[in-house]
Structure 1
Amino acid sequence: MTKPRKQILLTNDDGIRSPGLWAAAKALAPLGFVTIAAPREQYSGAGRSLPVTSDGRITRQTLQIGSQQWTAYAIGGTPAQSVLHAVLEILPQPPDLVVSGINYGENVGSGITVSGTVGAALEGADFGIPAIAVSLELPSMDYTGYSEAIDFSVAGYFSYYFAKILLERPMPEDVDVLKIDVPANATPQTPWELTRMAHHHRYFEPFANRKGAMEDPGVIDVRIDVEPEDVPDNSDIYKLRFEHKVAVTPLSLDMTSRVDFKDLRGLLEKGE
């Protein structure tokens, strides 16, 4: 008796037309049946948000990925809402794995809470589904375009590698998501290392980019400003940016501070 094919839900935050999404679909196809459900539009920086203004419309689109045609679902909502609609409305049963990516640009440091790529994976994990979030470091900061000059094949290789592992064996308790960041110059032979999220450091430093008066349109832009001495050498930022290794960071839905509650209580009670 043949085993049923594994079911993989693939999403992203760059939108249904992203070449990174297509590259992930092609890479994951040998592992099982891949259902694509992603935001209709570019939705970077959405975190795990569920805005009430999203229209929730689901439209089928046919995508040509390599030699194969895929039926994909464009969702009128955020990456996290795309996961919700897919699990609750599109799929007949919860998938065996949620994959989010491949993202245009790395997702490292404390700013990962902003990431729609990570947010979608966390949404899947909150259903109890194993999840990975895959991002590719870019040689430039064009994070919202659909540049076809970007080669996602190596990030696709690592998407396949870690997806296969999660489909075959359970992760330890408290590992809800594997966050995978692939260097821009990586090859399939590039080593990977387990890392910690760089704590209390803004990898993407925000700055106000306003040309006119306060009443005129303005944006909060970002730049990268980090040196090796700014972050621990076991962090995702250090391994990716300075050692050019694939950074694999286990994430937990439990955001409770790792502090001794007795000590904290004593500190808080001093104010009574």
Structure 2
Amino acid sequence: MQKPLILLTNDDGVESPGLWAAACALAVVGDVTIAAPLTQSTGAGRSMPHFMNGRIERRVRDMCGRTWEAYGVNGSPAQAVDHAILELMPRYPDLVVSGINYGENVGTGITISGTIGAAMEAASFGIPALAVSLQTGIQNHLSHSTEVDFSVAAHFTAYFAQCILRSGLPGDVQILKVEIPASATPETPWRVTRLALHRYYVPYSTRRGGLDEEAPLGYRVQVSPDEVPKDSDIYALLYEHVVSVTPLTLDMTARYPLHSLEAHLRRDQMG
């Protein structure tokens, strides 16, 4: 029987320990092809930067008792997905896994995330996608810190990958977004959540001088439990400390009756 074909990618780069933790966990689930950005691409969303040249480097790594060949793509996370599907894989994968990310991706900022962006790009091909992120301190978001333990997140990555490969995704669910609390163990409960309509990472200015100085924006977590619904991803992760599983779809059409919107917009013409 043919093993499932899995594409593994991320936005932290092909050398990320989170990526390799996922690779080792997924190796028992299916045949894994690894294709990820050559460089750190956090915050790239689903972007397709024209200045990326698409060059692909092979990387060989000995991990978890086997030798892996991975591909580092000079491109964004979404571009890495495209190059892998179009140039590196023998057929469309049965599943695309994006992660494991340094840092949680919750609330209305998820479209900023390269982790989610890669999953969205996979979904646009009609391929089920799984995006996995581990709650970490902001100081680790751009790091490849080996002090971050991805073992529990890897456990849940394999678990939900098996769920999708076994049963598919129902209805208009195209992506499962999974958030792992920093305190989680393999026994931590998980529950299905909705995306919180709340900004989780709030930007702030670091500028102290003139407009010509370098002053990249900073960001901080800013939320309180009374601001977010109890059935949301933020509440589950931050206040209940359970694994949050959020179904996502590429259909961003507002859930409002189209005829009612048309009537609203034409109201002035009806005078």
Task: Tell me the TM-score normalised to structure 1 length.
Answer: 0.97
Aligned twin of 1:20? 18
Aligned twin of 2:153? 155
Q: Deviations over 1:157-200 (max 9, x none)?
A: 0000000011111211210000000000000110001000001x
Matched, 1:266 2:255: no
Aligned twin of 1:64? 62
One-letter code aligned to 2:112: V
Within 2, Cα distance between the matches of 1:195 and 1:98?
21
1:246-265 to 2 correspondence within 5 Å? Answer: 246-265=243-262
Within 1, Cα distance between the matches of 2:212 and 2:137?
34
Aligned twin of 2:135? 137
- Displacement after TM superposition at 1:208 (Å): 1.1
The DSSP-based 3-state class of the residue aligned with 1:103 is: strand
Q: Deviations over 1:43-91 (max 9, x none)?
A: 0000000011111001111022232221000000000000000000000
Within 2, Cα distance between the matches of 1:183 and 1:18?
19
Aligned twin of 2:226? 229
1:1-272 to 2 correspondence within 5 Å? Answer: 3-199=1-197, 201-272=198-269
Preserved CA contact (<8 Å) 1:195 1:247: yes
Within 2, Cα distance between the matches of 1:67 and 1:139?
30
Q: Which runs of 5+ in 1 are unaligned?
A: none
One-letter code aligned to 1:231: V
Q: Deviations over 1:209-268 (max 9, x none)?
A: 123211111111100010000111100000000100100000001000000222212211
Bigger mean CA deviation after superposition, 7-16 or 214-223: 214-223
Paired-residue identity, %: 53
One-letter code aligned to 1:5: K
Preserved CA contact (<8 Å) 1:105 1:141: no
The DSSP-based 3-state class of the residue aligned with 1:30 is: coil
One-letter code aligned to 1:71: E
Within 1, Cα distance between the matches of 2:65 and 2:160?
24
Aligned residues: CA RMSD: 0.9
- Displacement after TM superposition at 1:156 (Å): 0.3
The DSSP-based 3-state class of the residue aligned with 2:42 is: coil
- Displacement after TM superposition at 1:139 (Å): 4.0
Within 2, Cα distance between the matches of 1:140 and 1:213?
27
Within 2, Cα distance between the matches of 1:96 and 1:61?
23
One-letter code aligned to 1:170: G
Change (3 A) 1:13 1:268: same
One-letter code aligned to 1:223: R
The DSSP-based 3-state class of the residue aligned with 1:172 is: coil
Within 2, Cα distance between the matches of 1:35 and 1:83?
11
Preserved CA contact (<8 Å) 1:59 1:74: yes
Q: Count residues with an aligned counterpart.
A: 269
The DSSP-based 3-state class of the residue aligned with 2:6 is: strand
